[in-house]
Chain A
Amino acid sequence: MTTTQAAAAETVYPTTTPPSVLLVILDIHPLSWSLLAAPPPAPPFPQNHAIDLAGASPMTLPDFVTILMVFLNAHLASRWGNEVVVYGASAGRAKLLYPPPPSAVAGPSKPRPNAYRPFQLLDLRIEEGLREMISEEEARLRNGDLSRLNEPSAMVSALTKALCFNNRIVPASGTSADITNPNEPLAPGGSGPDRPETRILVINATPGANVSTSSNETAEGELEGNKDIQPTKGNQMRGGYVGLMNCVFAAQKAKVPIDVLSLPPPTIDASPPIFLQQAAHLTEGVYWQWNGRGGLLQYLHAVYLPPASLRRRPFAVPPQDAVGFRAACFCHHKTLDIGFVCSVCLSIFCEPRPVCLMCKTRFPIKSLPTLKTLAANIQPISIPDTVLPPPMVPRTVPQNPPKNDAGKKGKGAGKSGGGRGEPIEVE
């Protein structure tokens, strides 16, 4: 961070930036939105009176779409040539909402004289697209396809579609490194004035670890092929995890940042969507979780409006949370702090087993008990609070207990000589 800041301080502001394409992935899972529409009351926030005053604000999908349209209009307005693409991700399904297929393009029936036409077209089409998709979903539910309602949103599918779209408008500039300029693949991308800058904004409404867990039939098929694999219950996690990670690496290669806005406030689910958070961290995108107290439009504009090239300077990104680099295991799809990894194929398991499920490698039986003891008695290390509390603390009042505790632990460890003090107790 310091180096980038120092480097940025020397450079002047860019005189022009390329046009940017914003790919928005909107989670419209009905269950998640029903949760968001009726949030539990927000806990008191005594450090800052202003924040405390703004109690928990319910957020419905129509409200949010209104906010989103203002944001997207602002994006269109901020530079000539900017474009917007919107995907909807519902339970187990993803669909392109905007732009409409060229065959369906027709101007609004009566153009409003006082509206900037691109704005009007965008608003109209997104609304139509959303209605269309929601009615399709309703039809599906009426046809008795209830089981899919419990599937999480098809974030991975939407991400792959967005990346395919990006690949079409910005073809990879030759994976073959040019011999005359071997450093080219290392240089930050987006060179050239006309090459549009793309970024992906994932708006997540699904609380907790459920997110990014759409099932992956590739993986399932694989499992079916291998008969002796134990039947798996929640097949979603692993496939979704692998799919999401593949998307992240493809985005890294294309130098497309994945920004994540997580709507469920901590009162609904305290655990952040760690895999989306990892995605944002790995692609140098912005991860931010709404606190459930209104002000979403301002946040969207302040955090997500500037394109990546302007983000750190002259603008600033919010401080990023601690990122848990945890993984999902292949056998039970649990999220793990410590796992057992096959040395041949690197599959992750949550318990020692004699044979690798993926590659059938036999592990030495003798070592299993020792492995078991190694993984026993591990207390999870709580994630420290990222954002330091506001400096002015008038009174010490008991705060939101779990978070505060975590924060103290992390910081306490730091001040008293780093990780040296703590582990001795454990050992």
Chain B
Amino acid sequence: MPVDLNYAPGGSDDEEDDDILDDDRPGPSSRGGRGAARNGTASKPNGKGKDPGRQAWEAEYKASWDVVQEDESGSLESAVESLLARGRRKRALMSETPLRRSIIRHLFLILDLSESMNDKDYRPTRFEVILGYLRSYVVEWFDQNPLGQIGIIILRDRLSEVLVPMGGNPQEILSVLSDKRRLEPSGEPSLQNGLVMAKGGMSHLPSTSSLEVLIIFSAISTADPDGSVTIHTVLNDLVNSHIRTNIVALAGEIKICRQISERTGGKFGVALEQDHLKDLLWETIPPPATTVSAAAPTTMSVRSALAAGGKGGAMGGAKALAGDLMVMGFPIRLPLGGETLCACHGLLKKGGYLCPRCGSKLCDVPTDCEVCGLMVVSSPHLARSFWFLFPVANYDVLMVEDAMSADGSETCFGCDIEFPDLSTVDAGVAQVEDGVSPTGRYRCAKCKNDFCADCDLYIHDTLHTCPGCAQ
């Protein structure tokens, strides 16, 4: 197994031992500082890290408050603008081409509930923080993946247990997650048991849907059962059954975790502090993307990534991407008039949906019609994902000359607020931070209308429809 090639831990072993020993020191962000100090004094050669004094996984992330610097006049405005600009640039990196995205997703959340979850490096405890994030995570996930399903597996006392079976009802999951007494952390986790259970739970699912596992791992060790089956064989099984595994570690980088996520085409991340933890979790919410062109795999498709990473990809990369045409019916929602019998439970109920093919009444959609077997979905369920297919054009920064010369309007095309007067904009000021318009105007590349910064963000992040292009 060519597993060790990519593994590049930032620090040497005895450093990690130190980390374990004083694990209960406050604040995860202090770890970087301490590590850096230690590295500095001991002047250890820090391997392949480009950024000496930092652990490998710390290099990419900066806490937002570290970045904020006051400018000469003591105002924070420019700092805030540069933060905005970073967001804009990040978005600009996203390609505008429509992507293949796996929209029907099945996700098992594997939650480590070992003793280490009681650590207080996140306030008040890791456990509380994770539960809080998970609740909003589930809501957001179902918001963006209305056809997806989530199950939850917990790891404690070296056992794994299905807390919530795979299902599409966020309310059910939320009610379980709010019951803290059922979730008391104890013992040690067993990564292997959890993965075996997740794999078993997804074995019956079709390969056209995206199978995923998200592990939130708090411990720094895993206590797996003895026997012929080791975690490495489980890993091979995961690769063979195309289960993408994302791992978010709370404590530190663990070799087996990185290996699992890399070989299954997932991501591995170590949370540095709360905001970063949230970033890592939220990164997994949008449906995984795969580009259309097979020639230049900037982001590899799941299956070809799997085929490349694991030896299990028996079928060729392109072939495996074959989709299916599904027949779906769009129902009629009945008013809440009188009670009628439903076809799925045989109960008298108000409201419901009429199957468009056979006319039987169903309690809830999406579902398969009990009588004629048609897949009945309401069209808004499908429409939630359409913004992936019709992305909004990026807005370009409008320079002073252009704003002067062009027949630009004086108000934002979205919210009709007035733009700052051009005469007050000094042309040469060092506001040349990339992506921030000196004139406060941003122009749509397609419809040539001007927008303010607020609308630019709102249109691209939430609305996904350009007011100008919609005319």
A residues at B contact (CB < 8 Å): 1-2, 92-94, 96, 101-103, 154, 156-157, 160-161, 163-165, 167-168, 171-172, 176-177, 179-180, 182-183, 185-186, 214-219, 221-222, 239-243, 245-250, 253-254, 278, 281-282, 319-327, 336-349, 352-353, 356, 358-364, 367-368, 371, 374-375, 378, 380-381, 383-384, 386-388, 410-411, 413-415, 417-420, 422-423, 426-427
Contacts and interface: CB of A to CB of B under 8 A. Distances in A.
Contact of B332 (A180, A323, A360, A387): A323
B200 interface: no
Contacts of A239: 390, 470
Interface in B305-331: 321-331
A384 B334 contact: yes
Contacts of B386: 242, 245-246, 346
Nearest to A248: B380
B354 A161 contact: no
A337 B356 contact: yes
A220 to B, nearest CB: 9
B382 interface: yes
Given A346-B382, A353-B325, 5 more contacts: A278-B379, A324-B332, A346-B385, A362-B323, A371-B325
Contact of A167 (B100, B129, B454): B454
Most A C-beta atoms less than 10 A away, residue of B371, B418, B469: B469
Which DSSP category, helix, strand, loop or mixed, fits chain B's interface? loop
Contacts of B356: 337-338, 378, 380-381
A101 B383 contact: no
Given A186-B139, A217-B446, A167 B415 contact: yes
Contacts of B174: 186
A72 to B, nearest CB: 18
Contacts of A368: 325
A331 B191 CA distance: 47
Nearest to A186: B139
Contacts of B192: none
A5 to B, nearest CB: 11
Nearest to A377: B357
A219 B98 CA distance: 11
Interface in B326-365: 326-343, 350-351, 353-362, 365
Contact of A426 (B99, B357, B462): B357
A386 B350 CA distance: 12
B83 interface: no
Nearest to A253: B462
Contacts of B378: 325
Interface of B: 98-104, 129, 131-133, 135-136, 139, 147, 174, 208, 274, 278, 292, 321-343, 350-351, 353-362, 365, 371-372, 374, 378-380, 382-393, 410-418, 446-447, 454-455, 458-459, 462-471
Nearest to A172: B462
A154 B335 contact: no
B360 A374 contact: no
Contacts of B334: 322, 384, 410
Given A341-B325, A383-B332, A160 B459 contact: yes
A282 B378 CA distance: 11
Contacts of B411: 101
A371 to B, nearest CB: 6
26 contacts: A1-B350, A92-B471, A160-B459, A164-B412, A164-B458, A167-B462, A168-B455, A172-B458, A177-B133, A182-B133, A182-B135, A185-B139, A214-B471, A216-B469, A242-B383, A245-B380, A281-B333, A323-B332, A325-B330, A337-B356, A371-B327, A381-B355, A418-B341, A419-B358, A420-B343, A423-B371
Contacts of B104: 343
Given A345-B100, A378-B356, A422-B360, A367 B415 contact: no
A419 B323 contact: no
Contacts of B462: 167, 172, 250, 253-254
